[in-house]
Each structure stands twice: as C-alpha cells, then as structure tokens.
Structure 1
C-alpha cells in the first residue's frame, strides 16, 4: 500500500509499505476516504513547529471499515467512521473518565500522524489503510446524511473547539463568547465560533485581522470584528485563545469576565507569564492542554446532523486524494483530500 511521509519542512513523498494486518480480536482495518489537515500541519510543513521527520503523515479523517476482529461489536465492514487521532483503549481509568488523550494502556500522547510526539508505530491517516487497535472504543459511526468531507476534522480540530465552549455554555447558558483568531490555529477558532452560535451563546465575537477568516466567522453566525488580539471589545464570560503567542494569551485572559473561563487551544512553545493577580481578583479559570477528543465526537456529529452547525464552511480547499502532496505543499488553511 501507499502512505504519505513527511521528511521535513516542505518535504513530502509517497512511500510503498506493507499493509497492516489484524492481530487482535478488538482491532479493525479502515480505509481513509476524507482526510483533513490539522492546524498543526501547515506549521510543520512550513518549519514553524519542530516536528522532525520522517514520519507517516495525517491524523484527521473519515474512513470506511474494511475488516474487523472477531471481538468487535460496534462497527462492521462498509461502515463509515470518524477515526479519533488519539489512541485510546476505552477501559483504563482515564478513558472511563473521558480523558481519552491520557490513556494509560499506551505510551503517553500516542496518536496517528504526529511523528515521535505521537509514536511512529501508529502510522498516519494519509494512507491506503490504517489499523485501529481498539475499534469499539475508538471508532464513531458516521450518521446517515453527513458528508464525510464536512466532518473530516471531527478527529481533532472540531472536538478541540467544542471543548473550549460547550462545557462552559452548558454551565452558563446564553453566555457571551469571545474568540481570538489568528495564524497559529486557523480553523479551531472558527469552529469554536460556529459551535458557540450553535450552542446558544447570546453573543459570539470573533476577533482577527485576516479578512478571509473574518468572512468565514460571519458566515458561521458570529460577530466578526477586525483587530489584533489586543483590541478591546469588552469582557466575556467565555474566551478562547486561538491566535498563538504570549500577547494573545494574556489578552484573552484579560478579556475574561468575573467568574469566567478562558481556554487556550494553541500550542505555546515558550513559557508565558500570566496576569495572575487579575485572574485571582476576577476568579478567572484558565485551561490549556490537549483536547480529549473521543467523548466529544458524538456531540459534534449530532450538531451537524441536526443542521445546527456546518463545519464545511471552514474548509478552504478540497482535492482528490492523489493530488494531496502538491496541495499540502501549498499550505491552504483547511485542506480535505477525498477518495
């Protein structure tokens, strides 16, 4: 079979490799049919994020089940499924608590398509086949009527955005939400804006300097305001930092209202001093870290299936699978390759 390999910034190649095989009863083989770029991928391809190759590429996608082990009960060959990017067993203590990104059955941060950071043994989803080690725990069947292309990022980026707004809007229905968009997380902030609108935020403000992203946010129902992360637009009970960098992080925290909640979905490469006195004074809660995506995926799919949220608006380019390499090197904001 063929798989896409990343050798380093600007260096991709197709590689012939042996097909994976089932060797345990809880496993499944899947064929990716709609694979998307994560927000981290363009940064890696452009050399802005240190994730050295070579490694099998791709960790967001929808797949068709090809074969299952004798112990698999929830999916059958022919089913279309979301493949969570994180490897999770479903039965360890963190998995049972919904903390699937910290599964203790495997090495910490085990995932598809993230090189040494996620473990090379899992391969990538930009491939003809992928092995799912815990099919019943990991795979989420795609509801009828949902276009795989629309939800290709349901493996990672869309659930990442969901965790930044959904729990808080559940605790404070109708709260106002501010999202600081920017180059570091080009799609997660947009998904967060659309999800906040879908989940009933009384006001959803998307702040960014990029005209294309501002237009997409407006199409998703948000109030788009042009400005950098330091532009003051008020204080909000829920804030999402999706711009990257110390300035944006502190700006998001400073824009969080009393008893509010600020979530950073960016990867901060350096230590950032926080405005702790202001956070203490306002009883501000701050959260950062990897999203535990598996528990959020069914909720995201339900919002799409019921017409409340359309993630396809965020996709900026769709190409045939065989054209993936050239399209990836052009680094579009959100690329989906389709079989």
Structure 2
C-alpha cells in the first residue's frame, strides 16, 4: 500500500478581466461621458488545512489546478465578475516549496491554516477611470493582469508528540496498540507497518499522539528500505521512544541499537535535540538473570539516555511508561 506524503503540482491562478471602452448612449444625451467598467480580478489558488486528511492521496493522478479568470468590464460602469478562488484542501503539516528555487513558501498548520500559492491577476481599468477635467472622453483602458503559473512541491510531515523508532519487529506496532486506540498491523515478519500509524494516548487531563513508523534498516539514511522516507516524520515529534527487541542476545540487541543510532546521525536532519528513551521490549520472554545482564550492558552504553523495560504482551512497564510520558510532555 502506497503512502502519499509528496506531490508535485502546477497551479494557475485566474487572469484579470480587461477594462471596457464605452460611452453613454442614451436618448436625448448627445455626448454621453465614458462609462466603461473595470475588469474583474482573477481567482487565487489557495491551500487550506483539512484536519480530516492524513495524506496527500487526493493529488494522485491530478497535477494541474486552475482558478477562474475575471470577466471583462462592460458599459454603464459595470465591473466584470471576479473569478472564484480555487481552494485546495491539504493535511496539517504540509510544507510547500517552489520547485525551481527549492524555496520554502510556507507550511500549513493550525496557526497558518491557509496560504495563497498563486495570486489572481488584477482586473484592468475601464475608460471611466481616466476621465478628467482636461479629458472628458478618454479612450484609454488597461488590460487585466496575466495569470500566475507555477509548479510547487508538497511534502507532508506528520505532527505527533511521540515517535516510535526501531528495527523491523522491534515491537512498535504491538506497543502502540497496547497504549492507544490504534489498530496497527502486527506480524512476525519485516515491514509489517508499511505506512505511518497514529494513535492517541489519553488520561483524564490530556492526550498525546504517537506515531508508529515503518522499521528502519541499516542503510536507511542512504535510501535503503522503507524507513528512510519516514525519518523526516520522526524529526517532527517532540519525543522518541527507541524500541529494542531484547529477546535476542545482549550483543545482538546492542548491535540493533547501534544501527538505529548510526542512521539517525547519518540522516540530513538533526535529531540530537529531541528527548529520547530506550525501551527494551519483550522482557516477558527473558529470565531475571538475562534481564539483569542486558540492562547492565545497555546502562554502560546509554549514559544519559533513560532505559525502560516493557512487555506489550503482558503489560510489564506500560503503566509506568504512560505515567512518565504524561509527566514529561
């Protein structure tokens, strides 16, 4: 299943209507004055937030968007009808770039809910506008402004409080199901999660959003596997939970931890400022002796990164994890 978090589209605003050249022609009025009306403005192209959307799939198969042009002015000082704006709905977190310059035009979020990406042309002036004491019968008009055509690139980044990080099969989907009301697919094979899944963790006072991403593999920062394209989504989260399967040997668990850490360092976004905890998962499969050994090994490596032991299957450590997340966020 494809996940649409990018789109390249062409937007064309409406052209402005032309001003009208006209003079009054009424019975018993031999020399009527100028009465040519202005042209109407062209419609804008506007991107606007829609909180019900969670991807850019609406742009699949559609690349060109054009607003309505303004109508020409007419006699009797009638202004041409302005073209309606074309409003395009996009999800929260959509960033808009000019494809030619790579410049960020803006981001759609709750405080910036709509952005004009192509401004409609202004309507031209009718000859009535040019009447003066020295020119009672002007024949001058102006044309409406041309439409604005531009190609833009849309990139959607999920906005969540907490991002789950880890190799395939680290237990991310099982954990988000255990903590929230989401229904992330679970299975004993790599890449069970093919698209980001959002869940909501709630208590009596607040709610937190958790994002479950496809598992990251070694080489993800160079474009390998599914995780690469979702690393930028994780960068938007406030908090990272790095899940490590500890049902394997301590050395293998440490290696899997190092793989993810290295991929974050190699990626072009800086993750160093985000708070991060390491959760050793599937502890229900370990004896107390093995748990003690793996905790000792990780404690030496982690230094200042908090370590938690959890089992999504039998609930070990989940209440403590919830409590700490609500306290920290």
TM range (shorter): under 0.3
Specify which structure has the bigger relative contact order, considering alpha-carbon pairs within 8 angstroms and separated by 6 or more residues.
1
TM-score (norm 2): 0.27
TM-score w.r.t. length of structure 1: 0.26
